[in-house]
Structure 1
Amino acid sequence: MRLVKTCAALVLVSLLSACTWWSENADVEPDIPEQQLYEEALSAMDDGNYSLGVERLQLLEARYPFGRYSEQAQLELIYAYFRTFEPDSASAAADRFIRLHPNHDNIDYAYYMKGLTAFEKDRSFLTRYLPLDETQRDPGAARDSFDSFATLVNRYPESEYAPDAQKRMQYLKNRLATHEIHVATYYMKRQAWLAAANRGRYVVENYQETPAVADGLAIMHEAYTQVGLTDLADDAMEVLTLNFPDYEVRSFREGSSSLLNIATFGLLGDAEEVAVPARPTQSLGETRAEEREKEDAKEERSWFDKVTFGVFE
């Protein structure tokens, strides 16, 4: 009887060991040569199957971390993540490549893709196809994108990616400046005059050659006037007049409206016109003049158009 129990125990242990061995080896893929994995990844990406490309590149990195294709696979993985709309993974892959290969010949590409990933992450689906003002949203991704592009342009000015990075930097600069004006306008409406003046001064000092500089000077003039700093207010107005002679000076404070204007939802009566921060260009090729023409076209609405809510005109 004792012998039977011992034999049964040995058989049970053998069966359990066999099950464990088969289960462990069931999920293990056969060894695939490094070159084959790399070629499969490139082929999948050429066919537009970037998800499969990511899978093959990840497997290549896991199997051959120090192989002949490892560095190039890391660069390809950045782009594959970018095309599969995984901005966080793409940014992390770019940071990893920059950290591991600071002297690589294609390090400029890693910086460019890092900036481009943040740039596209900031431009959501709604802002691309609907007339939403993205300058009022959190500018964190825009700052990250600008910093990456700035590093690329400063360190590698001869890079083939530098010209496009410079164009995107100008767009981002306009956007960040306009965001500061929105914040300053918020402070103006809350009568936080010094906070608004500091925001306006920050735009003037850090975002020169952007349309928002004129708004920054106007905010400085109005805010300094409110707190009695007439010398600073006069200086801001003098600079504004000399550099932007056609600028229409309007108040950035909360506007006041008559009772008739409020009762008729703005159709009748008088209302104080409040300044609106200038928006940055919505595309890299749109000029400031074209943007102003669009804004003027929106403002020129007839009385009949207002009454019918734009249905018949």
Structure 2
Amino acid sequence: MKKLLLLFTIVLLVSGCSLFESSHEMEKSAEELVSEGSSAFMDEKYKNAIKAYTDLKDWYPFSKYAILAELKIADSYYHLEKYDEAVLAYEAFEKMHPKNDAVPYVIYRTGLCWFNQLDTVDRDQTPAKNSMDQFKRLIDQYPESEYVQEAEEKIQLCVENLSAHEFYVANFYYKTKKYKSALKRYESLVTNYPNSKESKEALNKIIECRALANKI
């Protein structure tokens, strides 16, 4: 019985402390938190910005600053190069506020999150494909957006990466004498990336592969 009473007393003390800390923290107004977050963001202290904006969003979800907090949390993750977290935050923002004026910016930033993860042509090209999808969506849905020109330029870079990757894989099959597999890759390259520099080389390789494949 004494043990139970002692445990109950400890629980009350701990609960009392947490309630006190919570009420103490809540003394910060929404305005103070947005100011704190903005200052941290401007000073490139993005982890501090995330903390302030998250508190703002959690404590004052109906504040006029809550939407700003959601966007700045995503931007902070972006600047920290935590792209997975940034993508999730941007996507959540678009889902919650599909008519918001910031949506074109959000789509562009989502594309940048993937674009910034582009790797060499011998590696997985998922980032190139995903970034291109986002940039194309931006152009289709918001053709008057200020980000369209930059999106178009980055799409071209994604195409170059994807074309070079396809050529790399096709050449690998060719060198290992898997001519039928190489032929499919070369043909796919010419079909999907007809204006790339690799497509011109692929045309010659297609002729070679067809001749070699027939000998097998």
Where structure 1 has 5 or more consecutive residues not aligned to the other structure, the ranges are: 124-133, 230-313
Q: TM-score, normalised by structure 1?
A: 0.63
Residue of structure 2 in register with 1:30 after alignment: 25
Per-residue CA deviations over 1:6-27 (Å, capped at 9, x if unaligned) read xx78974773354233343355
Task: Single out whichever of 175-184 and 143-152 deviates more from structure 2.
Answer: 143-152
Match of 2:165, as an amino acid? H
CA contact (8 A) 1:116 1:145 kept: yes
- Which of 26, 43, 56 aligns to 1:60? It is 56
Q: Which protein has the larger Cα radius of gyration, Structure 1 or Structure 2? A: 1
- Which of 133, 138, 141 aligns to 2:127? It is 141
Per-residue CA deviations over 1:71-113 (Å, capped at 9, x if unaligned) read 2222222211011121110011111112222222111111111
Match of 1:42, as an amino acid? S
Residue of structure 1 in register with 2:112 after alignment: 116
Name whichever structure is richer in helix by fraction: 2
Residue of structure 2 in register with 1:165 after alignment: 151
Residue of structure 2 in register with 1:215 after alignment: 201
- Which of 148, 173, 178 aligns to 1:192? It is 178
Per-residue CA deviations over 1:38-81 (Å, capped at 9, x if unaligned) read 12111111112111111111112222233212222222222110
Rounded Cα–Cα distance in structure 2 between residues aligned with 1:10 and 1:188: 76
- Are positions 1:205 and 2:191 aligned together? yes
1:188 match: secondary structure: helix
CA contact (8 A) 1:184 1:219 kept: no
Rounded Cα–Cα distance in structure 2 between residues aligned with 1:27 and 1:208: 63
Change (3 A) 1:179 1:47: same
Rounded Cα–Cα distance in structure 2 between residues aligned with 1:163 and 1:200: 30
1:136 match: secondary structure: coil
- Which of 15, 21, 24 aligns to 1:21? It is 15
Change (3 A) 1:198 1:10: closer
Q: TM-score, normalised by structure 2?
A: 0.89
